[in-house]
Structure 1
Amino acid sequence: MSKFLNNKYLTLDTYTPGEQPQDMQYIKLNTNESPFPPAPNVLKAINSREIENLRLYSDPECQNLREKLAGLYGVSSDQVYLSNGSDDILNFAFMAFSGNGTQAAFPDISYGFYKVFANLQGTQYTEIPLKEDFSIDYQEYCNLDKFIVIANPNAPTGLTLSISEIERILKSNPNHVVVIDEAYVDFGAESCYPLINRYENLLVVQTFSKSRSMAGARLGFALGPKELIADLNKIKYSTNPYNVNRMTLLAGEATIDANDYYLEKCKVIAQNRDYTTKELEKQGFKVLPSKANFILVKYEGIEGKFIYEQLKKSGILIRHFSTFRIKDYNRITIGTKEQMNVFLREVNKIVSEG
């Protein structure tokens, strides 16, 4: 760290991404990526002619993709916002709707970036503990009078709030924005985006990274009342208007055209999740009931870190967290049936040997 760094960033705790080791070929079940490739028409969209057009700036309004998303979700195009991954949108939301006297609130066990963004923007925040079963108590978020961010399904638990519970949070906090981060919603949960026409304080954030096989392309979108979308655009046009590149926009448009392909892959991943859950429970694991493309599991009597380390030696990456309440758990991304069978075989060896 240099002597020139602004003092307000000296103590900033950064987000720790899932590891991406290059020393060998791994079965990657650690970063919630899709095990399936993009749809064939997406690959066709990224052709040599379009690569030549990289000399040109991208459309800052992302008009074609916004219109396609609006059509898919049955909203108007001015209720759609696009950016360089959902992380970008979350950061802009903290920038736009918190700080300057407005505090934030989010679960104590959730997506690690929320705390980072709050600190980055100088926002005071409250981390609300999950219940003993790791679920979110929606009543803890009612009448908070704060900027609220909730992942639904939550990460890394995979547990969900109902739409009616989210609606109660919205009703009781009319003077502050409530962000519902739906990065994993397509794997079996219900989106609350239909509520954006009823609540002026709701912003729904989704991503192309998980269910649409585009983690490496960096593309996220938000759905909300047009006034909130205009607020995000104000931030965007004050930082980087061209923050979604030409190739990503083309891939995104082709992805929406192939929506049925991705819905089918989500269904397969959900089936693999349920299969893996049952097989792990047969082995003696405790598995939280997930609606995401991952599961959070533990084996009583064996440290989560030990299981993680042994699987890594076998060429399988999973995610271990050092957070006290979940340090005995590991998060396992759901891959193909073949990948999950390899994982199940190797983890069975570990618990059998103790």
Structure 2
Amino acid sequence: MNPYWSPLVHRLSPYVPGEQPKLPGLVKLNTNENPYPPSARVIAAMREELGSDGANLRLYPDPNADRFKDAVVTHFAEYALAPNQVFVGNGSDEVLAHAFMALLKHDAPILLPDISYSFYPVYCGLYGVEHIAIPLNADFEIGIDDYRPGNGGIVIANPNAPTGHLLPLTDIERLAAANLQSVVIIDEAYIDFSAPAIPTAIALVNRYPNLLVIRTLSKSHSLAGLRVGYAVGDASLIEALERVKNSFNSYPLDRLAIVGASAAMEDKDHHEKTRQAVMHSRALLTAALVSLGFEVLPSAANFIFARHPQHDAARLAAELRQRQVIVRHFKLPRIDQHLRISIGTAAQCQALVDALRQVLG
């Protein structure tokens, strides 16, 4: 027990991010990054902002990131949003963190799936938010009727992680309508990889003042290294997030991130091209794994969740690593025999299949 630590720090069980190895030549399929580069417009916008001498970097960025908020409003023009319905942060993890503090810290416990993004219970521990884990069914699906009123809030990833299961928009609306007394947060980190793309829950925010939709540019826009996330919801929810943000860090996005993220949102053609490429590779990889005897859950994300009934998942992950292929294995109840495999390029997916053939004999 370190005497300099606060009691809170002693109690925390921090989130463990996916490994970012420094070894050369790895086929890295463990952290759900997009295998394709971002839009060329992103690079051009950042170079223009930087200028020939980088003089702009001596100036603080826009604390409100108005250019990016306007880009989000334009990107989702069919939903008639206003800029005050958009909140931005340093990655969707920061946006989620502020949401837990601003909107979910109440007397009643919040509801979470028992198998989902493992950062959610970490935030509960950090902010002292009581939570109840709602079990997924035997097929690892979320049952909307299990999330009953009387809670302090609901947080669901859609598609869910690490399972890839997708809830239709009708279920999201039913969830929001049945829980008007609390905030319903839908984390759409992977929604753009649903095929065909279902309407985002942003379509519902002007009807349900308790609905907050959180998204990221890390996955479908290939900008995991830029750290940009955002939330869309009723202006009153956004105001709460802004109050927390401006009590923590008024400048969450730097100048390059603001212009780069804005350019990414504006290039819809590039976004669609890479989205389609990932979904195509997902279908091919799923078929290849099934042919090798794997059981693969249906996925609407840029990863698949699979198990082999005759082979231990931890051993498979270790054997793949020896062959320069890294996937994600979770040592958690109910899923310790599954592997989460990010969708890579066609060549990366083939390297994985070739390595598995060697391992499985």
TM-score in same-fold range (> 0.5)? yes
Is the contact made by 1:143 and 1:169 (CA closer than 8 Å) also made in structure 2?
A: no
Using structure 2 for the length normalisation, give the TM-score: 0.95
Show the counterpart of 1:290: 299
Of 128, 132, 137, which aligns to 1:126?
Answer: 132
- For residues 28-61 of structure 1, the C-alpha deviation after alignment (integer angstroms, 9 at most, x for no partner) is 1000001011111211122241733111100011
Give the whole-Å Cα distance in 2 for the aligned partners of 1:3 and 1:100. 31
Closer, same or farther in 2 for the Cα pair 1:307/1:221, shift >3 Å? same
In 2, the alpha carbon distance for the partners of 1:303 and 1:268 equals: 31
Residue-by-residue CA offset, 1:92-139 (whole Å, 9 max, x unaligned): 111011224132110010000000001100011101111000000111
1:254-299 Cα shifts (integer Å, max 9, x gaps):
1122121011101110010011001111111000000000000010
Which of 62, 70, 74 in structure 1 is aligned with 2:73? 70
What is the correspondence of 1:205-224 to structure 2 with a 5 Å cutoff? 205-224=214-233
Cα separation, 1, equivalents of 2:324 and 2:55: 39
Residues 53-107 of structure 1: per-residue CA shift (max 9 Å, x gap): 1111000111111011101112111111111000001111110112241321100
Q: What corresponds to 1:263 in structure 2?
A: 272
Q: Distance in 1 between matches of 2:252 and 2:65?
A: 10
Q: 5+ residue gaps in structure 1?
A: none
The aligned counterpart of 2:242 is 233
Pair 1:318 & 2:324 matched: no
Task: State the secondary structure of the residue aligned to 2:13.
Answer: coil
Q: What SS does the corresponding residue of 1:324 show, helix, strand or coil?
A: coil
Q: Is the 8 A contact 1:142 1:168 kept in 2?
A: no
Aligned with 2:218: secondary structure? coil
Q: Residues of 2 paired with 1:96 and 1:123: CA distance?
A: 11
One-letter code of the match for 1:101? D
Please show how residues 55-66 of structure 1 align to structure 2 within 5 Å: 55-66=58-69
Displacement of 1:144: 4.2
CA contact (8 A) 1:146 1:173 kept: no
Q: Contact between 2:296 and 2:306, CA under 8 Å: does it hold in 1?
A: yes
The one-letter code sitting in structure 1 at the alignment partner of 2:32 is: N
Q: After superposition, where does 1:121-270 map in structure 2 within 5 Å?
A: 121-188=127-194, 189-190=197-198, 191-270=200-279
Q: Give the secondary structure class of the aligned counterpart of 1:250.
A: helix
| Alpha-carbon separation, structure 2, partners of 1:7 and 1:66 | 38
**Which residue identity is paired with 1:259?**
K
Mean CA deviation greater in 4-13 or 87-96: 4-13
**2:337 aligned with 1:334:** no
Supply the distance in 1 between the matched residues of 2:276 and 2:2 (Cα, whole angstroms).
49
Match of 2:45 in 1: 45
Partner of 1:13: 13
1:3 aligns with 2:3: yes
AA of the residue aligned to 1:3: P
Aligned to 1:27: 27
The amino acid across from 2:20 in the alignment is Q
Q: Aligned equivalents of 2:292 and 2:312: distance in 1?
A: 16
Distance across 1 between alignment mates of 2:151 and 2:202:
22
The residue identity in structure 2 corresponding to 1:105 is L
| Unaligned runs of at least 5 residues, structure 2 | none
CA contact (8 A) 2:75 2:266 kept: no
Q: CA deviation at 1:3?
A: 1.8
Match for 2:97 among 87, 91, 97? 91
Instruction: Tell me the amino acid that sits aligned with residue 60 of structure 2.
Output: Y
1:307 equivalent to 2:307? Answer no
Q: Give the 3-state SS of the residue equivalent to 1:325 in structure 2.
A: coil
Aligned AA (1:42): V
CA RMSD of aligned residues (A): 1.2
For the residues of structure 1 that align with 2:25 and 2:351, how far apart are their CA atoms? 14
Number of aligned residue pairs: 352
The residue aligned with 2:85 is: 79
- On the 8 A contact 1:104/1:118 being kept in 2, the answer is no
The TM-score normalised by the length of structure 1 is 0.97
